[in-house]
Amino acid sequence: MALPSTRAIANSAQVLDLIPIVNSITSLLQTLNPRNPIPINLTSSPLSRFSPFLDPNLVTLVIHKQTNPYHALFFFNWASNPNPNPYNYSHNHTCYEAITDLLLRHSLFHPTVKLLEKSQKLSDFFVGKIIKAYGDRGNIKAAIFWFNKAKSFEKDKYFYSFNSILGVLVKANLIDLVETLFDNVVKEGVVQPDVSSYTILMRVLCKKGMVETNLIAYNTLINGYCKKGDLESANLVFDKILTEVDSLPDVVTYTTLIDGYCRKGEFVEAKRCLNMMMKAGCSPNVVTYNAIIYALCLKGEVDEAKKMITEMTLNGVKDNTATHLNILKGLAVAGRSLEALEYFKWMAGCNMNLDAKAYIVVVKEYCKLRKIDEAIFLLKGMCERGFSHNVSCFNLMFRALIELNALDRAVLLLKQMPQMGCMPNSVSYRTVICSLCGTEGRMREVGYLVDDMLRYGIPVDATMYGCMLEGYSKTGNEDVAMQVFNEMIGKSYIISSESFSVFDICRTFPVVERDGYRKILDKHLQITQGSSKENSREENL
């Protein structure tokens, strides 16, 4: 039996739900209540109990949760150098971006700069944010100062700062200054302006009347607003087309708006826009109809989507493969698996150019119906056509095989995955390993699979540890069980009560290990109980 090597395991924050921990930290910060960037006589030691749970996702969530920027900064500074630091946590770029955005949103420029300087993160990217923040507050002089500073220390890498200062100057209507700055930067040849830079320049020239706005420019603006979900601004641009542009809105204009409404689930507005389009004498194309069909199918409203296909056919618009792929996905979303399979066969019979997405939908539906042979046959067909596999398809098959008590086939499929062009992930191994642990006489295979998993760089997670601990205990292999248990204690690893019985462990293991694990449990209980109290307090408000 090969025991899993003592590798870095998944951080506890990946196992536990982060929200209760975020709530507990927020509650503690409200109690500590730091009121300035460097609070005096305020210790951060109460935060130490959260050290084992630190990871970038948790830190970012905590920052976003704070309404008081000093609370966020206090937590961020503590997390920069926590004690203890069992997993050698350090902030990543996303963490610094989150705290910078929050501080600048509250006009805390000095603390922002100090933080970035101290951490040696004062780069062109963050200076660009500082410039924009000063510009938003109308402090053009400070924005220009920081642009010049970026040029001095970044030399040939002040791309973000350049675009930020251009945006600030345009917003302040300093048109001549924008042109001068743009020309100087181009002449220096140090920074290469990009699409955003030239878009800003176009806006400047339009303001000066040197470039005539056209339908393409307006369509581009509408597309940008729709992607952001800002349909109000998109409609304002649409109204400008009707009054300021020589040509009328075209199929691109209307289709972009319709797609924007569909993405927000506003089907009444999408249909209104479609009717307005047709009344204006602008014929919708297949892309227009597909936008509506896709959105309906995502909601599982397949019958409505099929009516739309009928409507487009009557209007002389021919459907395409994308149209029917949307219907296939819609049937799956609506739980109409048998219909989805029949629809796929019909599509194949029509010699449609089916891509990997269509195959993946059908493989998943076969797994839901526990038709594993058909699912595997399709996967092999994908391989023959050169399509890449989706690991989620395999994971569905593992669950289906285990429910069918076909554990041997699950193990075989897991081992064959790399040869089929798809690497297993932690879910793949967890599903099979935990099933083996619950089956008598299969613990030797668990060891082999764990060795394979570690070789692929996938760590053992809490669920797998719990299953192995229970499996070894049931087979009477207490020596190996104790090694697993000691490794968990050494890593301050929290394991759920469902995974094993604490009472069995107390009978099996000596006092030293038992007391060590109780300390871990006590720490975990303090955190979860704290969050529970806060949640009940919020419910009573």
204 token code pair: 């400047």
What pLDDT sits at residue 86?
86
351: left (phi over 0), alpha (psi -120 to 50) or beta: left
Q: CA dist 106 to 89, 117, 135, 205, Å?
A: 27, 19, 14, 33
Please tell me the distance from the alpha carbon of residue 478 to that of residue 505, in angstroms, as a whole number.
10
pLDDT digits (tens, 9 = 90+) for 140-192: 999 999 999 988 876 667 888 988 998 899 888 888 888 888 878 777 767 77
Please tell me the distance from the alpha carbon of residue 368 to that of residue 123, in angstroms, as a whole number.
50
What pLDDT sits at residue 13?
33
Residue 201 burial (CB count, 10 A): 19
Residue 403 burial (CB count, 10 A): 10
382 domain-assigned: no
What pLDDT sits at residue 60?
94
Q: Which residue has the tokens 């924007």?
A: 260
Answer yes or no: are the C-beta atoms of 395 and 372 closer than 8 Å.
no
530 domain-assigned: yes
Nearest one of 427, 433, 437, 436 to 481, comparing CA atoms: 437
Answer yes or no: are the C-beta atoms of 460 and 488 closer than 8 Å.
no
What pLDDT sits at residue 482?
81
Q: Which residue has the tokens 């902030």?
A: 91
What pLDDT sits at residue 490?
65
519 domain-assigned: yes
pLDDT digits (tens, 9 = 90+) for 41-95: 899 999 999 998 899 999 999 999 999 999 999 999 999 999 888 888 999 999 9
Place 508 in a pLDDT band, splitting at 50, 70 and 90. low
Over residues 17-31, mean pLDDT = 88
Q: CA dist 528 to 19, 24, 254, 496, 515, Å?
A: 10, 8, 52, 13, 20
Q: Which amino acid is at 31?
A: T
| pLDDT over 60 at 286, yes or no | yes
Residue 479 burial (CB count, 10 A): 9
What pLDDT sits at residue 484?
78
Nearest one of 155, 168, 251, 232 to 203, comparing CA atoms: 168
429 domain-assigned: no
Answer yes or no: are the C-beta atoms of 217 and 244 closer than 8 Å.
no
What pLDDT sits at residue 113?
95
Residue 385 burial (CB count, 10 A): 11
Over residues 214-235, mean pLDDT = 82
218 token code pair: 């307006």
29 domain-assigned: no
Q: State how far Cα 4 lies from the chain centre.
A: 30
| pLDDT over 70 at 522, yes or no | no
Say what percent of the chain tops pLDDT 70. 82
3 token code pair: 């025991």
Number of folded domains that form the chain: 1
Residue 252 burial (CB count, 10 A): 18
Q: What does the chain come to in residues?
A: 541
Answer yes or no: are the C-beta atoms of 91 and 59 closer than 8 Å.
yes
Over residues 531-538, mean pLDDT = 44
State the average pLDDT for the chain: 82
173 domain-assigned: no
323 domain-assigned: no
Interior angle at CA 242, CA 241 and CA 245, nearest 5: 50
541 domain-assigned: yes
Write out the residue range of the structural domain in which residue 483 sits: 448-541
What pLDDT sits at residue 11?
37
Please tell me the distance from the alpha carbon of residue 23 to that of residue 521, in angstroms, as a whole number.
19
Over residues 332-337, mean pLDDT = 92
What pLDDT sits at residue 359?
87
What pLDDT sits at residue 245?
61
